[in-house]
Structure 1
C-alpha cells in the first residue's frame, strides 16, 4: 500500500524508476551529470597511468630498479606497480560490496578522499617499502571508485544512450593521461623547491580530495539503487527532479514510460527479494557464462592496457633510447589516448559492443608485436599510438559492457568480482614483464601481451552476449 501511494505521487501510476529513466531523451543535463562523475574517474586514471610517467624518475633516483631479481623483489619497479594493483584487488573484491550496501554517491565520495590522501602521503616517502604501503592504500580506494563510477553511470542514464554516455565519461577521464604525460615530461627530469619532479607529479594527482567537495553537491543518488532497497519515495523524487530538468531543457512533454521488463516489474515480489544481493547469483543461469567470460577478459586485458601503458618509457629506454627521448616519445603517444575514447563514443551504439572489444584486442595484438620490433622513430610512434588508441577504445567499451550484464541488486558486487581478476593479473604482470625484459628483450614482452589479447578474442566471441539497445532489466531477466 505504501509503495502504491509513493508511485502514484509521481504521476505515472506503477511505473518503475527504470521505465521512467529509460524513456528520457539525450540532453546536456545528462552529459553534465556524467561529466561530474567522470571527474572522480579523471583522478583515478591519473593515478593509474602516472606510474608509467614517473617510472624513470623513480629508477633514476635509486628507489627502484628497472628489472627484478625475482618474484616480489621489493627493489624492482614492478613492486611499485604490484603494490598498487594489490590494493586495487582488495578494493574491488573485499570492499566492492559496500557500494551495493551504502549507495553509489556515498562510496564515490569516500573512495576519492581515501586515495587522494594516500597519494599525497606517498609522495613524501623515501624508501620503496613505505612507498609501496601507501600505494597499496591508494589502490584500495581506486579499486572501489572504478567499479562505483561504472555502476553509477549505467544506472543513471537511459538505455538507448548508455554506451555513448559511458564512452563520453571515458573520454573525459582519459584526458588525464596526456596531462600527466606533459607534467612528467616537464617535472621528472628536474628538482623543484627541493623535491624531485616525480614527487610533484604525485602531489598534483592528490588534488582529487579537493575536487570532490564541489562535485558531490551536484550528484543525486542512483534511483535504481534506492528502488532496489525499497526506498521508493526517495527514488521517485530524484527521477521527478531529473524529469523536470529534461523538460526545462527540451521544452517538450515527456513520452509515457514503457511497460517494465518482467524482471523489473516483479522487482518487489517476495521471490525477488530473497535473491537480493546474493553472491551466488552471479554463478547461476545466464550469469554463469558472463561471469566466466568477464573474469578471463579482465585477467587478460591488463596485459595490454597496463603491461603496455605502465612500461612504455622503460621499454623504450631498454631499446637504447635516452631518458629524455623516452619521455618525449611517451608524451607524443599519450596524446593519442583520447582518440580511443572518441572512437568508442562514436561507435558505442552503432556497432555491437562485444565485436568492438574483439576488434580492439586484435589491433593491440598485431600493433604490439610491431612496436616491439620497431627501431625507427616513425614506426615506434605509429605502432605505439595504434596500441594506445585500441587499448583506450577497449576501455571505453568494456566499462559499459560489464556493468550492463548484471542486475542492480548485485551489479557493484558482481562487477567488483570480475574486475578483481584484472587486479590479480596486474600484481603479477609487472614482474613477468620485468623478467622477460631482462632475459628475452622487448619483443618477448609483446608476444606475451598479444597472447593475452587473443584469449580475449576467443572468450568474448564465444560467450559474450549482445547488449546494444537492450534495457538493463531485460538483460538481467
Structure 2
C-alpha cells in the first residue's frame, strides 16, 4: 500500500512547475551545503598558515611522523584526515537518512561538524588537529549525501538538472569567500590568534546560524510515503501545491502516474542485486577517479602555484581569483542542465579538466596559470553538479541515501590517499607529475561513465530505478 501511495505523491511532485516556492526550498537546502563546501575548501587555502605555524613538523605529527620524509606530506596528513572522516560519514552513517528521514540527519549533521570544527580550530599540534578534522569530517560526510537525496526527491522531473546546478551554485559560493578570507587573514594574526584559525572559526559560526534557517525545510514527502506516513506526506505535498497555485494564479495540472517503484525491503545488499550492481560498480570507479582531479586541484591550488614559482602571498591572491570561478560553473549549467544528458555533461567536464591541468603544468606566466585554473574550475563544477544529480537518480527512494553513500564513499577514501599521493608526486616530479596523475584519473572517469552510464534525462525517478 505504501508503495502505491508513494507513487501518487511522486506524481504530484513531478508535475509541479518552476516557482519561487520550489526554488526557496532548493536554496534553503543548499545553504546547508554552503558551509560544508566552505569547510572542505578551506583545506587548501589555510595550508600555508598551518605549515608556517609549525603544526606539521615531524615532532607535531605523532603517529603521522613517519610520513615526514615527503616534504609536503605533513599537510598531506591533514588532507588525509579530512577525507578519511568523510569516508566514515558517507560509508557508515549515510544509511541513517534512509532509516530516520532526510530532515533530521540533514540538520543535526550540520551541528555535529560545526561544533567539532570549532574545537579543531584551537588545537596546537598537528596530531590533534588531524584527530578533530577526522571527527568533523564524519559530520559533513553524512550531510553531503543527504543533500543529494533530499534535492532529487523534492524536485519535479523537469527541474532536476537545474535544481542541482542551483544547489551547487549556492554551495560553491563559499569557495571564493573562504579564498578571500584566507588571502586577507592567513598572513596575519588578528587579536593574537593565527589567521588560519579565524578562517576556520568564521565558517563554523556561519554554519550554526544556517542551522536555524534550514530547520524550515520539510521532510521529503517521497520518503514519508514510502514509510507509510501518508498523512504527513500528503500534508507537506498539499502545502507546497497550495503555495504554488497561489503564486501562479491557476490550478495545477492533474498528476500522471508513469511507473511504480519496485517492491523491496530497502536493505543495503540491494545495491549489489542483479538490477543495480552494474550501476554501483560504475559509480564507485567513477567516484574514485573524479575526486583525484576535483580535490587534487582545489585542495592544493596554493601549493601548486608555489611550485610553479609564485610567491606565497601572490599564491593566495591568485588562488582567490581562481576560486571566484567556482560558483559560475553551476550557474552556467542552469542554461543547459536539463537539455543535455547528465552523462554527456560529466564526460565533457572531465575532458576539459584533464587538458587544462596538463596545460597548467607547462606554463609559468601568472595570467595563463590563472586562466587555466579558472577553466579547470569551471569544468570541474559543471562535472560536479551533473554527477551529484546523476548518482542520486540511479537508485530508488528506499535505498537512495545508502546507495549514494556507498558509491560516494569511494571518492572520500580515494581523496584521502590522493592527498598523500599528490604530495608525493609534487615532491618527485613537480606540477607535471601531479598533472599526469590527474589526467590519467580523468581518462578512467570518462571511460566508465561514457561507456557504461545509462541515460536519465527526462525520465521519472521511479522509472529510472527500473
Normalised to the residue count of structure 1, the TM-score between the two structures is 0.93
Partner of 2:61: none
Q: Is the 8 A contact 2:342 2:390 kept in 1?
A: yes
Q: Residues 13-48 of structure 1, C-alpha deviation per residue, up to 9 Å, x if partnerless?
A: x96100110011010111110000001100000011
1:190 corresponds, among 177, 188, 212, to 188
Partner of 2:128: 130
Q: Residues 340-385 of structure 1, C-alpha deviation per residue, up to 9 Å, x if partnerless?
A: 1112222110111101100100001100011011111121011111
2:144 corresponds, among 140, 143, 146, to 146
1:473 corresponds, among 454, 462, 465, to 462
Q: Residues 80-127 of structure 1, C-alpha deviation per residue, up to 9 Å, x if partnerless?
A: 111111110000011110010110000011100000001111111000
1:306 corresponds, among 288, 292, 295, to 295
Partner of 1:10: none
Cα shift at 1:3 = 10
2:51 corresponds, among 54, 59, 82, to 59
Q: What SS class does the counterpart of residue 373 from structure 1 fall into?
A: coil
2:343 corresponds, among 348, 354, 359, to 354
Q: Residues 119-170 of structure 1, C-alpha deviation per residue, up to 9 Å, x if partnerless?
A: 1111110001110111011100010000000000100010111111111010
Partner of 1:90: 88
Q: Residues 160-198 of structure 1, C-alpha deviation per residue, up to 9 Å, x if partnerless?
A: 111111110100111000000100000000000010100
Change (3 A) 1:219 1:98: same
Q: Is the 8 A contact 1:40 1:208 kept in 2?
A: no
Q: What SS class does the counterpart of residue 458 from structure 2 fall into?
A: coil
The 5-angstrom pairing of residues 276-291 of structure 1 reads 276-291=265-280
2:114 corresponds, among 107, 113, 116, to 116
Partner of 1:202: 200
Q: Is the 8 A contact 2:32 2:214 kept in 1?
A: no
2:381 corresponds, among 373, 392, 417, to 392
Q: What SS class does the counterpart of residue 215 from structure 2 fall into?
A: helix
- 1:22 is aligned to 2:20: no
Cα shift at 1:211 = 2.1
Change (3 A) 1:25 1:277: same
Partner of 2:161: 163
Q: Is the 8 A contact 1:125 1:131 kept in 2?
A: yes
Change (3 A) 1:226 1:2: closer
Q: What SS class does the counterpart of residue 413 from structure 2 fall into?
A: helix
Partner of 2:306: 317
Q: Distance in 1 between matches of 2:12 and 2:96?
A: 26
2:215 corresponds, among 211, 214, 217, to 217
Partner of 1:103: 101
Cα shift at 1:320 = 2.4
Pairwise CA RMSD: 2.0
- 1:464 is aligned to 2:462: no
Q: Residues 225-254 of structure 1, C-alpha deviation per residue, up to 9 Å, x if partnerless?
A: 001111111111111111001101101101
Q: Is the 8 A contact 2:34 2:170 kept in 1?
A: yes
Partner of 2:246: 248
Q: Distance in 1 between matches of 2:165 and 2:427?
A: 37
- 1:174 is aligned to 2:166: no
Change (3 A) 1:375 1:409: same
Cα shift at 1:73 = 7.5
Q: What SS class does the counterpart of residue 337 from structure 1 fall into?
A: coil
Q: Is the 8 A contact 1:45 1:176 kept in 2?
A: yes
Q: Is the 8 A contact 2:86 2:137 kept in 1?
A: yes
Q: What SS class does the counterpart of residue 103 from structure 2 fall into?
A: helix
1:229 corresponds, among 215, 227, 230, to 227
Q: Distance in 1 between matches of 2:429 and 2:7?
A: 61
The 5-angstrom pairing of residues 259-298 of structure 1 reads 259-263=257-261, 272=263, 275-298=264-287
Which 4+ runs in 1 deviate beyond 4 A?
1-4, 68-75
Change (3 A) 1:165 1:189: same
Cα shift at 1:210 = 2.4
Q: Is the 8 A contact 2:152 2:160 kept in 1?
A: yes
Q: Distance in 2 between matches of 1:3 and 1:466?
A: 24
2:325 corresponds, among 309, 316, 336, to 336
Q: Distance in 1 between matches of 2:421 and 2:214?
A: 40
Specify every segment of 5 or more residues in structure 1 that has no aligned partner in the other structure, as ranges: 8-13
Q: Distance in 2 between matches of 1:73 and 1:34?
A: 46
- 1:382 is aligned to 2:368: no
Q: Residues 415-474 of structure 1, C-alpha deviation per residue, up to 9 Å, x if partnerless?
A: 000000001101100111111111111100010000000001100011111111110000
Cα shift at 1:70 = 5.7
Partner of 2:316: 327
Specify every segment of 5 or more residues in structure 2 that has no aligned partner in the other structure, as ranges: 59-63
Change (3 A) 1:378 1:105: same
Q: Distance in 2 between matches of 1:162 and 1:385?
A: 26
- 1:42 is aligned to 2:34: yes
